[in-house]
């Protein structure tokens, strides 16, 4: 140790600076290094060639799949509007809110921090208008896939999106909305929660209401920015078509309210009101009660989803008498000035038939037959017509045929076989006053349109077709239709019906300044061929203006309760309100004859 301690520092530094002499590298080693470098470079070039030449299509496809966002069609439906463009049904965007607690993170937090559910619930409580405790309970201890809310409007979804909370996912979907509520439910129908059509036009026009949609592919950059230079033509093509109805929401609302009030007052089972343009078959109103709200259809019994005006049959009773008289005139078995002896009762094939009051009216003309609604006079009148010819006319009028209409679920009426009708005298006798066969209220409206429009059978319909943008379809041009009756015949019958409103049971529908024709009906109600004791159907049919008919109004109320429940007391008041509204909405001028009379009276 002493010797080491005494070692000179200078010598130590010299030892550290010792120089190692270079030794020559063998030539074969340099060749090996050179070959290794050459092989590596060759492999790199080969790999690059393999990727760029042979694998290029596959790699490009993989890159495009990562860069491209493909949207799926949402399955939206076209809107439905009324004749004035008012929305009846439309798709609105709604959102579901999904939560994934394992990713909860607030803006500005450390990326590795995972927030507790209570922190997120505290922020969402105010936006969703839900108690914080309820949100925490929904989140529970699940790590992902928790549905917190459904049916959120776009504004609420935007507020949640602005919060920037990681772990919240908004799923957009279309929801069918019916802005008019129950007003058009009987016609339009609804979609269930799986967006499957269940009733009405949503079901019958399903294919027409499906919007044209296609999947879209958008290329995006590394930061998610869309690259519009690679979009194919038509990628953002939008289908803005809508289905336009012939119905008028204003008149529909008036009809629904008037009908509902009368059904409630008379404690009836149901009612229907129809307004039809006799020139082209367009329906301006088709109201039924009771009805339902398609926005909350699950709260109502399924029986209300049917539109009974086109699906349920009933015996029209006295409202069919004008049609029978038109047939008799057409066949020439009666004369316009003819008369018939109303004895009050008679026997047909052993069956007693009488008037509703069991009283006779003596020798009366045909306008009076309609005014007093004589069953006996109608039976005696139609006896002049051969039963075989009579049955042919009922068949030609389409009693037992399905109406040509776009209304969903329309059914054919019921008519006895020709053999039975001809062989049993009671059949043509009861048919003379509108019983023994059945039809729908829609069919009755179609047949009265024949009398109103000069004898043509037009097709009742409620759609004008698909329209684009804000354009509305014009009314359909008057259709020729099948000519069933001569115009002079229908003109005579319209005059007789006018006397019913002026002097008979239809007085309640009279409107100063306007010529209105009508016929009331109070028929026994039959079920499975058996007439129900005390059950009846009250109805009223009107056409206006008589001098230049444009519209037919039909009101039918099923099983009103009370001694004084008749067509004149139950159905006429509803028709009166509808007619008054119709005159205003359609700007129908006063009839010329009445205009002159009013001026004279005022003078």
Q: What are 395-411's pLDDT values in tens digits?
A: 999 999 998 899 988 99
Question: Is the pLDDT higher at 284 or at 56?
Answer: 284
Assess whether pLDDT exceeds 70 at residue 601.
no
Mean pLDDT of 111-116: 88
Q: What is the pLDDT of residue 235?
A: 47
Q: How confident is the model at residue 486 (pLDDT cuts 50, 70, 90)?
A: very high
Q: What is the pLDDT of residue 225?
A: 53
Angle of CA points 421, 425, 429, to nearest 5°: 90
Q: Give phi and psi for 534, each to the nearest 5.
A: 80, -10
Return mean pLDDT, the chain: 87
- Token pair 């050459």 in the structure block, residue: 38
pLDDT tens profile 180-210: 999 999 999 999 988 899 999 999 898 888 8
3 state SS for 291-313 = CCCHHHHHHCCHHHHCCHHHHCC
Q: What is the pLDDT of residue 222?
A: 54
How far is the C-alpha of 312 from the C-alpha of 234, rounded, in Å? 47
Q: Which entry of 79, 182, 309, 318 is annotated as an active-site residue?
A: 318
**Beta-bridge partners for 210:** 77
Question: Is the pLDDT higher at 481 or at 284?
Answer: 284
Q: How confident is the model at residue 468 (pLDDT cuts 50, 70, 90)?
A: confident
What are the strands, taking DSSP E only, across 125-269? Answer: 146-152, 168-177, 216-219, 241-245
Could you give the domains of the chain?
A: 93-172 (3.90.1310.10), 249-298+306-602 (3.40.710.10)
Q: What is the pLDDT of residue 141?
A: 83
* Residues 571/559, Cβ–Cβ less than 8 Å: no
Whether 505 sits among the annotated catalytic residues: the reply is: no
Which residues have a Cβ under 8 Å from the Cβ of 477 and sit 6 or more positions away? 280
Assess whether pLDDT exceeds 80 at residue 501.
yes
Question: Is the pLDDT higher at 586 or at 73?
Answer: 586
pLDDT tens profile 131-157: 988 888 888 888 888 888 888 999 999
Q: How confident is the model at residue 597 (pLDDT cuts 50, 70, 90)?
A: very low
Assess whether pLDDT exceeds 90 at residue 414.
yes
How far is the C-alpha of 517 from the C-alpha of 501, rounded, in Å? 6
Assess whether pLDDT exceeds 50 at residue 570.
yes
Q: Which of 251-260, 504-513, 525-534 has the lowest mean pLDDT?
A: 525-534
Question: Is the pLDDT higher at 166 or at 476?
Answer: 166
Percentage of residues in the chain with pLDDT exceeding 70?
A: 88
Q: How confident is the model at residue 213 (pLDDT cuts 50, 70, 90)?
A: low
pLDDT tens profile 24-68: 777 777 788 888 888 888 888 888 888 788 888 887 777 777 666
How far is the C-alpha of 167 from the C-alpha of 592, rounded, in Å? 75
Q: What is the pLDDT of residue 143?
A: 84
Assess whether pLDDT exceeds 50 at residue 263.
yes
Assess whether pLDDT exceeds 50 at residue 2.
no
Sign of the dihedral through C-alpha 191, 310, 460, 276: negative
Assess whether pLDDT exceeds 70 at residue 599.
no
Q: Give phi and psi for 45, each to the nearest 5.
A: -65, -40
Q: How confident is the model at residue 391 (pLDDT cuts 50, 70, 90)?
A: very high
Mean pLDDT of 427-455: 95
How far is the C-alpha of 584 from the C-alpha of 248, rounded, in Å? 13
How far is the C-alpha of 324 from the C-alpha of 194, rounded, in Å? 49
Task: Characterize the bridge pairing of strands 241-245 and 87-99.
Answer: unpaired
Angle of CA points 440, 444, 450, to nearest 5°: 145
Q: What region, left, alpha or beta, does residue 28 occupy, with left being phi > 0 and alpha being psi -120 to 50 degrees?
A: alpha
Q: What is the pLDDT of residue 178?
A: 95
Q: What is the pLDDT of residue 25?
A: 72
Assess whether pLDDT exceeds 60 at residue 443.
yes
Straight-line distance from the first to the last Cα atom of the chain, in angstroms, rounded to the nearest whole number: 153
Assess whether pLDDT exceeds 90 at residue 13.
no
């Amino acid at each position: 140790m002493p010797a080491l301690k005494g070692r000179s520092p200078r010598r130590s530094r010299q030892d550290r600076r010792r120089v190692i002499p270079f030794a020559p590298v063998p030539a074969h080693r340099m060749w090996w290094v050179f070959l290794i470098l050459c092989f590596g470079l060759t492999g790199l070039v080969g790999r690059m060639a393999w990727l760029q030449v042979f694998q290029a299509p596959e790699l490009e496809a993989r890159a495009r799949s990562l860069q491209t966002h493909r949207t799926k069609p949402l399955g939206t439906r076209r809107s439905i509007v009324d004749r004035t463009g008012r929305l009846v049904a439309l798709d609105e965007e709604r959102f579901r809110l999904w939560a994934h607690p394992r990713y909860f993170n607030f803006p500005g937090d450390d990326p590795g921090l995972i927030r507790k559910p209570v922190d997120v619930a505290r922020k969402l409580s105010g936006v969703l208008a839900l108690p914080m405790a309820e949100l925490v309970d929904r989140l529970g201890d699940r790590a992902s896939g928790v549905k917190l809310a459904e049916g959120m409007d776009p504004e609420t979804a935007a507020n949640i999106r602005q919060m920037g909370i990681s772990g919240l996912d908004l799923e957009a979907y279309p929801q069918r909305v019916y802005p008019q509520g129950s007003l058009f439910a009987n016609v339009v129908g609804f979609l269930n929660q799986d967006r499957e059509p269940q009733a009405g036009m949503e079901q019958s026009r399903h294919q027409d209401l499906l919007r044209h949609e296609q999947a879209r592919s958008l290329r995006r950059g590394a930061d998610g920015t869309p690259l519009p230079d690679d979009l194919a033509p038509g990628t953002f093509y939008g289908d803005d078509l809508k289905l336009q109805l012939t119905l008028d929401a204003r008149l529909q609302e008036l009809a629904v309210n008037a009908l509902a009030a009368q059904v409630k007052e008379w404690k009836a089972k149901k009612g229907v009101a129809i307004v039809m343009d006799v020139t082209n078959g367009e329906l301006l109103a088709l109201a039924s009660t009771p009805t339902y709200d398609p926005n909350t259809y699950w709260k109502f019994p399924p029986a209300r989803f049917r539109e009974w005006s086109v699906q349920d049959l009933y015996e029209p009773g006295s409202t069919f008498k004008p049609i029978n008289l038109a047939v008799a005139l057409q066949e020439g078995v009666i004369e316009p000035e003819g008369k018939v002896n109303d004895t009050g009762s008679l026997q047909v094939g052993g069956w007693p038939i009488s008037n509703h009051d069991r009283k006779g009216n003596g020798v009366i003309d045909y306008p009076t037959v309609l005014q007093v609604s004589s069953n006996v006079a109608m039976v005696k009148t139609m006896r002049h017509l051969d039963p075989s010819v009579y049955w042919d006319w009922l068949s030609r009028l389409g009693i037992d045929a399905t109406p040509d209409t776009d209304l969903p679920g329309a059914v054919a009426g019921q008519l006895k076989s020709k053999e039975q009708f001809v062989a049993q005298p009671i059949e043509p006798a009861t048919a003379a006053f509108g019983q023994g066969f059945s039809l729908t209220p829609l069919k009755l409206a179609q047949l009265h349109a024949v009398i109103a429009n000069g004898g043509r059978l037009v097709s009742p319909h409620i759609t004008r077709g698909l329209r684009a943008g804000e354009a509305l379809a014009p009314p359909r041009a008057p259709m020729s239709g099948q000519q069933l009756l001569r115009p002079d015949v229908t003109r005579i019958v319209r005059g007789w019906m006018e006397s019913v409103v002026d002097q008979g049971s239809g007085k309640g529908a009279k409107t100063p300044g306007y010529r209105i024709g009508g016929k009331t009906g109070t028929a026994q109600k039959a079920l499975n061929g058996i007439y129900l004791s005390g059950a009846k159907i009250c109805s009223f049919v009107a056409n206006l203006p008589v001098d230049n008919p444009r519209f037919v109004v039909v009101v039918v109320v099923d099983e009103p309760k009370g001694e004084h429940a008749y067509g004149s007391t139950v159905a006429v008041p509803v028709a009166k309100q509808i007619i008054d509204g119709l005159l205003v909405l359609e700007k129908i001028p006063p009839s010329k004859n009445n205009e002159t009379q009013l001026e004279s009276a005022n003078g």
